[in-house]
Amino acid sequence: MEEHVEEKPTPSPAEISQGLSKIRARRWFFFGVVLIYVPALLIVLKVSQSGKLTLSLFGLWVFVLIIAVVLAAIVRCPRCKEYYHTNGPTFLPVRKCVHCGLFVNADKQKKAPKTDTP
């Protein structure tokens, strides 16, 4: 009777690809929320001329940002099954797994011809 097997089975390329696309989606969401802040704030300030609305939108943005950080922080690496962006208390939105170094585009790198030729 075997219990608590520590050995991690090697995931298939399909599982890796699936896991990485999930990670990429959450990264896009996170960086999107971060990047939308300045233009959104400038637009709101220009349109509304009201500090009150700006303040409530800022509050909303902070709320969405927290969700984006949590979603990005709890996404797991498809290879080592650890938190992809989180090492202990540190959240690092880097382009590779902070535990095993699996690159965020690892499933795309095998056959990636450069299409953007000048």
Q: How many Å is the maximal CA-CA distance in the chain?
A: 70
Phi, psi of 99 (to 5 degrees): -105, -55
Structure tokens at 47: 């349109």
**Minimal distance, residue 112 CB to Zn ion, in Å:** 21
CB of 16 or CB of 41, closer to Zn ion: 16
- Answer for which of 41, 64, 80, 106 binds Zn ion (CB under 5 A) is 80
Q: For residues 98 and 86, is the Cβ–Cβ distance under 8 A? A: yes
16: contact with Zn ion by CB under 5 A: no
Residue 77: enclosing H or E segment and its boundaries? none
Q: What is the footprint of Zn ion within residues 84-113 (CB under 5 A)?
A: 97, 99-100, 102
Give the footprint of Zn ion on this chain (CB under 5 A): 77, 79-80, 97, 99-100, 102
